[in-house]
Amino acid sequence: MAVLPIRIMGDPVLHAPASPVGEVDDEVRQLVADMFETMDAAPGVGLAAPQVGVGLRIYTYSYEDDAGAPWRGVILNPELWMRPLEPGEPDPDEESEGCLSVPGERFPLRRSDAVLVTGIDLDGAPVRIEVDGWRARIMQHEFDHLDGVLYIDRLSGSDAKTMQKIARKRGWGRPGLSWMPGVDDLEA
């Protein structure tokens, strides 16, 4: 396995819809193994293939709940259904999220509190996940990556302006930028 470079927000692969996975072959299996290693090294709770420069509809996830129970997996060609959003502004303490492709930054974002995700696993078997809370947030965040949407694209008002200033200051608006988990000194 290998840790892969994570693309930063200006890279074109992050802003384009990913293609469906056709055949689940050894190349796809190796990509997923490398994605798990990269996600763990970052560390992160999810990683979509476009974040490592691969335009395929794949994401990995890993989360430990309040009781310490692990929740880890991969979904290929996912479909997402979600409960309608609650109206109102997001709570900065309870609804802030970050992204490995926008290292070191966190912003509040309203997400649905419950989702259903279907797809397939590495054996081609059907996957069906119904989750709420942070697990639902992770599913929505990673699914967005497969449609070329970063969480910062969903920001509005002063948070969107702040993010634009950060991106300009750090030079993140240009293609080809990446960082290496475990090597580069970045907060993710």
- Cα angle for residues 37, 112, 172 (degrees, 5° grid): 50
Cross-strand partners of 179: 6
- Reduced 3-state DSSP string for 67-101: CCCEEEEEEEEEEEEECCCCCCCCCCCCCEEEECC
Point out the residues that are catalytic: 142
Cβ neighbours for 60, distance < 8 A, ≥ 6 positions apart: 32, 35, 36, 39, 46, 47, 72, 73, 74
Contact predicate 154/86, CB 8 Å: no
Q: State yes or no: cis peptide before 43, omega within 30 of 0.
A: yes
Helix, strand, or coil (residue 19): strand
The greatest distance separating any two alpha carbons of the chain, rounded to the nearest whole angstrom, comes to 46
